[in-house]
Structure 1
Amino acid sequence: MIRIKARAPTGRPAVLPTVWGAVAVGYKFGCPLAQQNGLGARIVTSAVFFAVGTGLIFHVRRGLLRELRLARRAARAAQNVVLRPLPPRLDGIDVAAAQLSADRGACVGGDLYEAVATEHGVRVVMGDVRGHGLAALGTVAALLGSFREAAHDEAELGRVLRRLDRALARHLGERARAEHPAQGTPAPDNPVAEDFVTVLLLEIDRDGGVRALNCGHPWPYLLSGTGVAPLTHAEPLPPLGPFPLPAELDVLAGRLPPGESLVLFTDGAEDARDGRGRFFPLSDVLRAAVRDHQVSPQAVLRTVFTALLHHTAGRTTDDVAVLVLRNGRKQVRPPAAARGGEIGGAAARVRRATTRR
């Protein structure tokens, strides 16, 4: 749990209001002008108290702004620890990610993502916690901590998902005990028992093979030279939390050839609406990026978030996270000897055809 400890107030901030109050009281009871009832005396007295009141208001405002800056600084530090920035390249995979919180002025939300290079390949997680803002930060931290360990420890992607499921169950149980110590475990009517997380797990090996497990999350889009399409239309598993995982997990298999990209996102992207209630056309924006040859991860992110903020007039109602993975590895070419053999065989076929003529 992340705690923000407030500093004990010192005597210095209270000095100025005390002085102003003393000036006002001293003027009222010690200045002869304040005892008069004439119009000029009343105007001067009103001006003195107005100046004192204005000074107090500005002093309080300055203190509140200072506390707000400290809170935002702490929120940014928490984000860098929990949702740390991703490196631009992982084992030949170009990476770019960004998040937009629905809470005004907040730096953290209920969306999570992480990508790590392991001996099993580049493993990626993207998820969406029920709710948003600081309330969902604890669940995000629990899941990301579990993923960062399991991604290296587990050889099978399905076992990584089961580790995440157990971590979520432990976290929800601890929350239930902290909020309702008498219950011990989440009761059916406890709000904690209704929490869930959508999770998408990906694994990209050295040959561009992709394996995926999806629990209630939107499938990513595949960006290729021919256009934009969902990675698959298969039905995902239920979200983590309310339902147990099945005994057998069907891992989707696909490919990410060199030069092609996967765009992972949370449902806040496609569910964002404009003032007329129209949903954000994410697939159309990605097609425009492909047509304009803006296929680098950073360019795709800029295109998506620029269009999203324009579509919603800068007011999103849900957290949005986008993660772009591009296979930046070079196309594997056959050895020179093999290419020479193929050329020699083609030449021999040409010679045989010429002889028959």
Structure 2
Amino acid sequence: MGLPCMWGAVAITYKLTCPLAHHHELSARIVTSAVFFVVGAGLILHVRQGLLRELRQMRKVAGAAQGVLLRPLPPRIDGLNVAAAQLCADHGATVGGDLYEVIGTEHGVRVVMGDVRGHGLAALGTVAAVLGSFREAVHDEAELSCVLRRLERAMSRHLRERARAEHPSSGLEPDSPVAEEFVTVLLLEIRPDGEVWAVNCGHPWPYALRSDVGPAGLRGYVEHLAAGEVLPPLGPFPLPAELPVVSCGHLLYGEALFLYTDGIEDARDSGGVFFPLPAALTDAVCVQPVSPQSVLHSVLAGLQQHCGGRPTDDAAVLVLHNDRHRQHRRAPVGARGTARQATTDPQPTTHL
């Protein structure tokens, strides 16, 4: 407040002591107006600088908090090269309703990709509940289905707490807490031999970016891994007693998995045409060898060009590239329990 008071004192002193301030001639009025204009401009600039400093500090604090919630992924995890990015629908926010995490465990590299109902900052509470539970469960639970059970319990607790916070006067346990809230979740487990297992709760299946020669005779093609049964999203309904964990075959050396949220496929241009994700991925894998960063850059650049800027919904992308040198023959995609082809370096496989 020191500088504004000083500027105000200058204006008052001029008005009370300067003879020009009491004259009514045109020249005196011009000088008086100029003095008060300078004083007013100084006050406005001072206030503006203070607000800018406060805004920069708030953005710094918010960026640090959002970075802890959706922390940056390391570029390499247990032989997998990783690249990820998120486009938030709320301007000024770097974290919205999409979530992802990749963690190396003794059971293999475990991955979660999720999408909370709604978008932007309002979904951060659900993102925090799901990610916090996942980061603990992947180390504690040997089976992927048990990890999903932990996420379901965490989501239920979060919704009950939200319902109590929204209706604190009732003092009763809500029967149906925030029934409209839900989150889609895709869990993957990539084992050391490249075998991929998945459990899906209402989330889009990933794409495999293969390095073999495709149907068109070119090296590199895209395969959609629609591997089996899809469970309902977490939140509205309890999960069934049996949770199907399905096999997605093997991720060979030089191949990649492309995980995404529906904000990618649902993005439209000015004419209402959806973003052609398979075509964008096909263009990205034409350049061999495939790198996660190049795929990420190519798809997001195409998305923003298609939408004419930022999409209207949160969108997240995660690319996992197998850089392990041990190669295996690819197993066919099938449900849990189907026969799998042997690897070139046979070793016992632990079934989920």
C-alpha separation in 2, matches of 1:316 and 1:131: 14
Aligned to 2:333: none
C-alpha separation in 2, matches of 1:176 and 1:26: 59
Aligned to 2:66: 79
Aligned to 2:259: 264
Q: Work out which of the residue numbers 61, 72, 76 in structure 2 matches 1:89.
A: 76
Deviation at 1:231, TM superposition (A): 0.7
Q: What residue identity is the alignment partner of 2:245?
A: V
DSSP-derived class of the 1:263 partner: strand
Return closer, same or farther for 1:153/1:130 CA change in 2, 3 Å cut-off: same
C-alpha separation in 1, matches of 2:194 and 2:166: 46
Corresponding position: 1:54 with 2:41: yes
Aligned to 2:239: 245
Deviations 1:120-156 (A, max 9, x none): 1110001111222222222211111110110011111
Aligned to 1:300: 295
Deviations 1:217-265 (A, max 9, x none): 1111111132112111645221110111011111111222222111001
Corresponding position: 1:312 with 2:298: no
Aligned partners of 1:211 and 1:253 also within 8 Å = yes
Q: Work out which of the residue numbers 63, 66, 87 in structure 1 matches 2:53.
A: 66
Q: How does 1:1-357 map to 2 (within 5 A)?
A: 14-183=1-170, 184-186=172-174, 192-225=178-211, 226=214, 227-232=221-226, 234-255=228-249, 256-293=251-288, 295-332=290-327
Return closer, same or farther for 1:56/1:186 CA change in 2, 3 Å cut-off: farther
Q: What residue identity is the alignment partner of 1:212?
A: A
Aligned partners of 2:193 and 2:326 also within 8 Å = no
Deviation at 1:187, TM superposition (A): 6.2
Aligned partners of 1:75 and 1:108 also within 8 Å = no
C-alpha separation in 1, matches of 2:193 and 2:13: 83
- TM-score when normalising by structure 1: 0.85
**Hey, which bits of structure 1, 4+ residues long, moved more than 6 A?**
none
Deviation at 1:62, TM superposition (A): 1.0
Aligned partners of 1:75 and 1:107 also within 8 Å = no
Return closer, same or farther for 1:15/1:294 CA change in 2, 3 Å cut-off: farther
Identity over the aligned pairs, expressed in percent? 66
- TM-score when normalising by structure 2: 0.86
Return closer, same or farther for 1:129/1:244 CA change in 2, 3 Å cut-off: same
Unaligned stretches of 5+ residues in structure 1: 1-13, 340-357
C-alpha separation in 2, matches of 1:85 and 1:333: 30
Q: What residue identity is the alignment partner of 1:321?
A: A
Q: What residue identity is the alignment partner of 1:324?
A: V
DSSP-derived class of the 1:143 partner: helix
C-alpha separation in 2, matches of 1:321 and 1:258: 25
DSSP-derived class of the 2:318 partner: strand
C-alpha separation in 1, matches of 2:328 and 2:153: 43
Unaligned stretches of 5+ residues in structure 2: 215-220, 330-343, 345-352
C-alpha separation in 1, matches of 2:90 and 2:289: 30
Aligned partners of 1:213 and 1:252 also within 8 Å = yes
Return closer, same or farther for 1:249/1:333 CA change in 2, 3 Å cut-off: closer
Aligned to 2:335: none
Aligned partners of 2:145 and 2:245 also within 8 Å = yes
**Structure 1 or 2: more helix by fraction:** 1
Deviation at 1:327, TM superposition (A): 1.6
